C-alpha cells in the first residue's frame, strides 16, 4: 500500500473510531489494531495522536467545503443558495458533532483552528449569497448582512443544550426551519410571493442535491 493511500486510510479509520468511541478513549494502539498495521508504521506517518486528530479535523473541513462548493455550482439563485448553505452546514455539524465536541473539550487548540476555518468558510459563502440577493432586490436593501450572519451563526451554535440523539435530530430540523423562516423574513414582498409558490419544489431540490452529494 502506497504511503498516501495508507495515510488516507488511517485518517478515515481514525475518524470513524473517534466518532464511535470518542477521541479521548481511542488510542493509537486501537487504531493500529483496527487497521492491522504495526504501531511503528502508524507512528512513522503520524508522530502523535494530536497530529492525527488534526489531520482528521482538516479532512472533515475539506469534506464540508467540497459539499458547499457543489451546492454553489448547482444552485444559481442566491437566496435559495443561502438557505441551502445554512441547511447543509447544520447537517454537517450534526454529522460530526460528537467528535467536534470531544475535540473542543480535550484538545482546545485543535478545535480553535477548526472553528476558525469553518466559521470563515461559512461566512464567506453565505455572505456572498446574501449580498447577491440584496443586490438583485430579493432581500430588503436596509438589511444588515453582518448582523444577519451573526444571528444565523448563533442559531447554529445552539446545539450545546441538545444531548441525546433524538434531541439533536430535533435540533437539526428546528434550526433548518428557523433559519429558513428567518431568511424568508428578510425578503421583499414580491420575492416572498414568488418563493412561497415554489417552496415545495425548492425543498425537494435540496433533498435531491444532498442525496447526490452524499453518495
In the chain, where are the structural domains located? 1-47, 63-213
Question: Residue 148: how many CB atoms within 10 A of its CB?
Answer: 19
What CATH number is given for 63-213 in this structure?
1.10.357
Output the average pLDDT for the chain.
88
pLDDT in tens, 175-193: 888 888 999 999 999 999 9
Contacts of 10 (CB under 8 A, 6+ apart): 31, 35, 42, 45, 46, 52
Nearest to 130 by CA among 115, 144, 151: 144
pLDDT at residue 137, as a whole number = 94
Q: What is the DSSP string of 28-71?
A: HHHHHHHHT--HHHHHHH-SSHHHHHHHHHHHHHHHHHHHHHHH
- Cα distance between residue 204 and residue 65, in whole Å: 22
Dihedrals phi, psi of 83, to nearest 5 degrees:
-65, -45
pLDDT in tens, 61-98: 898 888 888 888 888 899 999 988 888 888 887 888 88
pTM strictly above 0.75: yes
Question: Residue 32: how many CB atoms within 10 A of its CB?
Answer: 18
Low-confidence ranges of the chain (pLDDT < 50): none
Task: State the CATH class of domain 1-47.
Answer: mainly alpha
Amino acid at each position: 500500500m502506497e504511503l498516501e493511500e495508507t495515510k488516507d486510510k488511517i485518517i478515515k479509520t481514525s475518524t470513524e473510531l473517534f466518532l464511535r468511541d470518542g477521541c479521548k478513549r481511542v488510542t493509537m494502539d486501537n487504531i493500529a489494531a483496527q487497521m492491522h498495521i504495526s504501531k511503528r508504521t502508524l507512528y512513522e506517518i503520524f508522530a502523535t495522536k494530536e497530529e492525527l486528530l488534526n489531520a482528521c479535523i482538516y479532512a472533515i473541513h475539506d469534506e464540508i467545503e467540497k459539499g458547499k462548493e457543489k451546492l454553489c455550482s448547482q444552485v444559481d439563485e442566491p437566496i435559495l443558495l443561502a438557505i441551502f448553505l445554512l441547511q447543509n452546514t447544520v447537517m454537517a455539524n450534526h454529522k460530526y458533532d460528537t467528535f467536534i465536541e470531544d475535540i473542543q473539550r480535550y484538545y482546545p487548540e485543535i478545535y480553535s483552528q477548526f472553528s476558525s476555518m469553518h466559521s470563515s468558510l461559512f461566512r464567506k459563502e453565505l455572505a456572498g449569497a446574501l449580498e447577491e440577493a440584496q443586490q438583485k432586490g430579493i432581500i430588503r436593501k436596509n438589511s444588515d448582512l453582518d448582523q444577519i450572519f451573526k444571528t444565523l451563526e448563533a442559531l447554529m451554535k445552539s446545539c450545546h443544550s441538545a444531548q441525546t440523539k433524538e434531541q439533536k435530530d430535533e435540533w437539526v430540523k428546528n434550526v433548518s426551519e428557523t433559519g429558513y423562516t428567518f431568511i424568508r423574513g428578510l425578503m421583499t414582498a414580491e420575492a416572498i410571493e414568488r418563493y412561497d409558490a415554489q417552496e415545495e419544489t425548492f425543498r425537494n431540490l435540496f433533498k435531491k442535491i444532498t442525496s447526490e452529494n452524499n453518495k
